[in-house]
């Protein structure tokens, strides 16, 4: 089967790119399942039921998140009612929502998806390294095809987490930095890896935000309003080819698809 992961969707430009580009990507890559990180989909920070509905209607099967999970108060509705929405698994016991679940691909194949968050240079959470084993075991009881979105800052933490899970999951792809890396590979145990998928949104920007206010913040250290930029919109992500019988990945390919406005 072929799974597409879409890197952090930033604001309205990112949502529009997913809506317009996903049909062509589905046809070109013969996609069976689509996962997207949506934690920046609402105005560039957080996610709401409305922006999640727009992403789902575009053809995304599962939405993952990260450290901007709580930026919009409406997220509580998603956590309570939307099973296709995942939060990082390493929140304390009793936190609303779920960090992993099994879903059905278009051909009926069961696909496990797990979301975890790193701790280096990130908000304090429980240790994802110690919690991952139980979550993977739970998912593997239902399917060998497991995709992991590891939302983390430090490259070393992402690599170590993926190396720990090599042979137990189909793929580990990082998010959070918004900069697509060029280190896609298949580990010896059959796990596909990419340090960061990049982001889906305006790239004539600073990580999706207007350039001038960010520069001003660095110059003055004074608060600024970081509006979502608008130009050079690109969908970033990765396509993973997975053996349905073994759950091992056979290939991973980075995706960079420009969105072109209608003339």
Q: Tell me the catalytic residues.
A: 68
Contact yes or no for 72/39 (Cβ under 8 A): no
Contact 135, 80 (CB under 8 A): no
User: How many angstroms separate the CA atoms of 44 and 227, rounded?
Assistant: 8
Instruction: State the number of CA atoms in the 13 A half-sphere of 18 facing the CB.
Output: 34
What token pair was written down for 77?
A: 């509705």
Which residues are bridge partners to 185 per DSSP?
A: 193
First to last CA, the chain: 35
What whole-number distance in Å separates Cα of residue 176 and Cα of residue 86? 15
What is the Cα–Cα distance from 206 to 220, expressed in whole angstroms? 17
Number of H helices, E strands in the chain: 6, 13
């Amino acid at each position: 089967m072929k799974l597409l992961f879409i890197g952090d969707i930033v604001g309205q430009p990112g949502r529009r790119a997913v809506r317009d580009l996903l049909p062509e990507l589905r046809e070109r890559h013969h996609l069976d399942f689509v996962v997207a990180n949506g934690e920046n989909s609402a105005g560039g920070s957080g996610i709401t039921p409305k922006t999640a509905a727009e992403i789902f209607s575009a053809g995304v099967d599962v939405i993952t998140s990260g450290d901007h999970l709580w930026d919009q108060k409406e997220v509580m509705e998603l956590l309570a009612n939307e099973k296709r929405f995942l939060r990082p698994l390493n929140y304390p016991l009793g936190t609303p929502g779920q960090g992993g679940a099994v879903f059905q691909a278009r051909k009926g194949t069961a696909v496990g998806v797990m979301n975890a968050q790193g701790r280096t240079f990130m908000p304090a959470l429980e240790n994802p390294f110690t919690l991952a084993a139980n979550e993977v075991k739970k998912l593997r009881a239902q399917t060998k095809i497991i995709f992991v979105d590891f939302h983390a800052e430090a490259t070393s933490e992402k690599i170590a987490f993926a190396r720990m899970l090599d042979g137990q999951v189909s793929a580990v792809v990082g998010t959070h930095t918004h900069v697509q890396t060029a280190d896609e590979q298949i580990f010896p145990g059959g796990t596909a890896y990419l340090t960061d998928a990049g982001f889906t949104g305006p790239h004539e920007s600073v990580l999706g935000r207007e350039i001038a206010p960010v520069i001003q913040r660095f110059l003055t250290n004074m608060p600024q309003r970081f509006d979502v930029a608008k130009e050079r919109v690109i969908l970033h992500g990765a396509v993973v080819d997975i053996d349905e019988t073994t759950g091992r990945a056979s290939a991973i390919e980075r995706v960079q698809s420009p969105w072109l406005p209608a003339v």
